[in-house]
């Protein structure tokens, strides 16, 4: 299994833990769906579709639910590819955060409804745009791993 840690864990520091599952897939033009939302500073932030695991939820079910909530997108998670985590500090909330992500390749069926999260917007990015725009480094690394496996021109 591919696995990588980003950031440094500070000793004697309590981190808020969050486990999430995320899907990466491609449309017919090899564009990747992501969620765009606004950050605390008003800037745009781009994130892979997915999010935190609800109590007892399977990773694939989380991806299906989050893609629908964030983008109105129907997907089928197909294959677990990698795991990565990120230790960082969030100034706006004065929180040390440790996010662990499980990343899957997914098939995309298409947009079937309006998203239920009003602050999330579906955006389709090319691989190059994805590298430049993803906000979290562990998500960018995972996306790169999946692109290497599934895009012949990568």
Residue 26 has pLDDT above 90, yes or no: yes
Give the closest residue to 142 by CA, choosing from 31, 26, 48. Answer: 48
pLDDT level of residue 40 (50, 70, 90 thresholds): confident
Q: What average pLDDT does this structure show over 38-53?
A: 92
Distance CA 141, CA 67 (A): 20
> What does the pLDDT look like over 46-86, one tens digit per residue?
999 999 999 999 999 999 999 999 999 999 999 999 999 99
Query: What domains appear along the chain, each with residue ranges and CATH number?
Result: 2-7+18-93+102-150 (3.90.79.10)
Q: What are phi and psi of 33, to 5 degrees?
A: -80, 135
Residue 94 has pLDDT above 70, yes or no: yes
**Is the Cα dihedral 137, 139, 140, 142 positive or negative?**
positive
Which residues fall within 8 angstroms of residue 119, CB to CB, at 6 or more apart?
A: 37, 38
pTM of the entire structure?
0.95
Structure tokens at 74: 């129907």
**b/e code 65-90 from CB counts within 10 Å (16+ = b):** bbbbbbbbbebebeeebbbbbbbbee
> What does the pLDDT look like over 106-144, one tens digit per residue?
999 999 999 999 899 999 999 999 989 999 999 999 999
pLDDT at res. 154:
61
pLDDT at res. 1:
82
pLDDT level of residue 25 (50, 70, 90 thresholds): very high
């Amino acid at each position: 299994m591919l696995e990588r840690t980003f950031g440094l864990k500070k000793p004697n520091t309590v981190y808020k833990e969050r486990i999430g599952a995320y899907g990466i897939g491609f449309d017919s033009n090899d564009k990747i769906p992501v969620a765009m939302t606004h950050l605390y500073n008003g800037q745009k932030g781009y994130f892979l579709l997915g999010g935190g695991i609800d109590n007892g939820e399977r990773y694939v079910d989380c991806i299906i639910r989050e893609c629908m909530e964030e983008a109105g997108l129907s997907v089928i998670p197909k294959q677990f590819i990698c795991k990565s985590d990120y230790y960082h500090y969030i100034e706006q909330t004065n929180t040390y955060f440790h996010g662990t992500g499980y990343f899957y390749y997914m098939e995309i069926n298409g947009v079937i409804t309006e998203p239920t999260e009003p602050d999330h917007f579906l955006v389709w990015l090319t691989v190059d745009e994805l590298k430049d725009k993803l906000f979290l480094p562990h998500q960018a690394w995972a996306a790169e791993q999946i692109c290497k496996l599934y895009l012949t021109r990568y």
